[in-house]
Structure 1
Amino acid sequence: MPLYDIRCSHCEGIFEKLLSMQALGGELACPYCRQQTAAAPMLSGGRVGVEVRERWRPRNGAQQLAGQGAAGPGAHAGAARSSVLHNCKGHSCSICAT
């Protein structure tokens, strides 16, 4: 039996119900308002596809180890420090002294 989303015609509540094909024409009790409502499934959007057009790629070794958005000393190419895992974003950091 398929699982259907059903909207109550009285209270507008949406609930899920396992229904056979024969039960789709009948009525069933709403779990919210306890009124009888038509067993008509809601129309849904169907399948949704996601296409990735661009992927994030690290520009240097620091970004490769620390991830996207890494900032601070050692997080960019040619930095004086070699701390590639320093990812403080500039607040309350003992290394940056901010």
Structure 2
Amino acid sequence: MPLYDIRCTHCDGIFEKLLPLQALEKPLACPYCAEATLAVPLFTGGHVKLRVAERWQARNGAEQLAGRGAAGPGTQARAGRSSVLHNCKGHNCSICDT
């Protein structure tokens, strides 16, 4: 049974209803105003086109791994390694500068 978007002819409310094909063009009660309205499906859907105005670009390897706004060791521009997910424990690490 398909799901239809139906507009009430009395209150202009739009509601969804699961209807068999035989019930189209027959009256049914509007859930908003409780008046009887014809079950005429709206023409909805089709092709939706989205326009992307800005694409996010990672500034460094750390943002590639951890996402936008990654901070911490390895996020500076010329870091030897770009991982913010390292496990050095602070002993001779090129990222932590210890």
TM-score, with length taken from structure 1: 0.60
Q: Which residue of 2 aligns with 1:90?
A: none
Aligned partners of 1:9 and 1:37 also within 8 Å:
yes
Q: How does 1:1-98 map to 2 (within 5 A)?
A: 1-48=1-48, 58-70=58-70, 75-78=75-78, 84=84
Deviations 1:14-51 (A, max 9, x none): 11111111110211010110101010001113244679
The residue type paired with residue 31 of structure 1 is: P
Runs of 4+ displaced beyond 4 Å: 49-52, 71-74, 82-85
CA RMSD of aligned residues (A): 3.3
Distance change >3 Å, CA 38–CA 74, structure 1 → 2: same
Q: Percent identity over the alignment?
A: 68
The residue type paired with residue 15 of structure 1 is F
Q: Which structure 2 residue ranges, 5 or more long, are not aligned?
A: 86-98
Are the structure 2 counterparts of residues 83 and 25 from structure 1 closer, same or farther at C-alpha, using a change threshold of 3 Å?
closer
- Alignment coverage as a number of residue pairs: 83
Per the normalisation by structure 2, the TM-score is: 0.60
Q: Is the 8 A contact 1:62 1:77 kept in 2?
A: no
Are residues 61 and 83 of structure 1, via their aligned partners in 2, closer, same or farther at CA, if it must alter by over 3 Å? closer
The range that moved more, 59-68 or 16-25, is 59-68
2:24 counterpart SS class: helix
